[in-house]
Amino acid sequence: MGYLCLLLMYPPSGKETTMSRLKTIVWADDCARIIDQTQLPNELVYIEIETAESMYDAIKTLKVRGAPAIGIAAAFGLYLGVRTCPDTDSTEQFLHNVRVTADYLASSRPTAVNLFWALNRMKMTAESLKHESAGVIKKALLAEAKAILEEDIRMCRKIGEYGYAVLKDYTTILTHCNAGGLATGEYGTALAPIYVGKELGKEFKVFADETRPLLQGARITAFELMAAGVDVTLICDNMAATVMKSGKIDAVIVGADRIASNGDTANKIGTYGLALVAKAHNVPFYVAAPFTTFDLSIATGKEIPIEERDAQEIINGFGKPTAPETVKVFNPAFDVTPHELITGIVTERGVIYPPFGQNIKVILS
Q: Which of 52, 148, 190, 243 binds a second copy (CB under 8 A)?
A: 243
Active site residue 257: yes
Is residue 330 a contact residue for a second copy (CB under 8 A)? yes
Q: What are phi and psi of 261, to 5 degrees?
A: -60, -30
CB of 216 to a second copy, least distance (A): 11
- Binding residues among 331-360 for a second copy as defined by CB under 8 A: 331-332, 335-336
How far is residue 334's CA from residue 256's CA, in Å, rounded to a whole number? 10
- Binding residues among 36-75 for a second copy as defined by CB under 8 A: 41-42
- Binding residues among 181-210 for a second copy as defined by CB under 8 A: 207, 209-210
Q: What are phi and psi of 49, to 5 degrees?
A: -110, 125
Site string for a second copy, 310-329 (x = CB under 8 A): ----xx-xxxxxxxxxxxxx
Rg of the chain over all Cα atoms, to the nearest angstrom: 20
- Contact in structure between 285 and 341 (CB atoms under 8 Å): yes
What SS3 state is found at 111? coil
Sign of CA dihedral 208, 210, 216, 222: positive
CB of 26 to a second copy, least distance (A): 23
What SS3 state is found at 114? helix
Q: Which of 7, 28, 147, 239 binds a second copy (CB under 8 A)?
A: 239
Burial string for 160-198 (b: 16+ CB within 10 Å, else e) reads bbbbbebbeebebbbbbbbbbbbbbbbbbbbbbbbbbbb
How far is residue 297's CA from residue 294's CA, in Å, rounded to a whole number? 9
* Cβ atoms within 10 Å of 278's Cβ, excluding its own: 25
What SS3 state is found at 174? strand
Number of residues in contact with a second copy under rule CB under 8 A: 60
- Binding residues among 267-286 for a second copy as defined by CB under 8 A: 269-270, 272-274, 276-277, 279-280
Q: Which of 11, 131, 282, 362 binds a second copy (CB under 8 A)?
A: 11
How far is residue 171's CA from residue 249's CA, in Å, rounded to a whole number? 8
CB of 227 to a second copy, least distance (A): 9
Is residue 112 a contact residue for a second copy (CB under 8 A)? no
Site string for a second copy, 251-270 (x = CB under 8 A): ------------------xx
Q: Which residues contact 28 (CB under 8 A, 6 or more apart)?
A: none
How far is residue 300's CA from residue 288's CA, in Å, rounded to a whole number? 18
Of 14 and 354, CB closest to a second copy? 14
Amino acid in position 203? E
List the catalytic residue out of 36, 237, 257, 264. 257
CB of 213 to a second copy, least distance (A): 5
Q: Which of 238, 297, 312, 358 binds a second copy (CB under 8 A)?
A: 238
CB of 225 to a second copy, least distance (A): 9
Residues that bind a second copy (CB under 8 A): 10-12, 41-42, 207, 209-213, 215, 218-219, 222-223, 226, 231-243, 245, 269-270, 272-274, 276-277, 279-280, 314-315, 317-332, 335-336
Residues annotated as part of the active site: 257
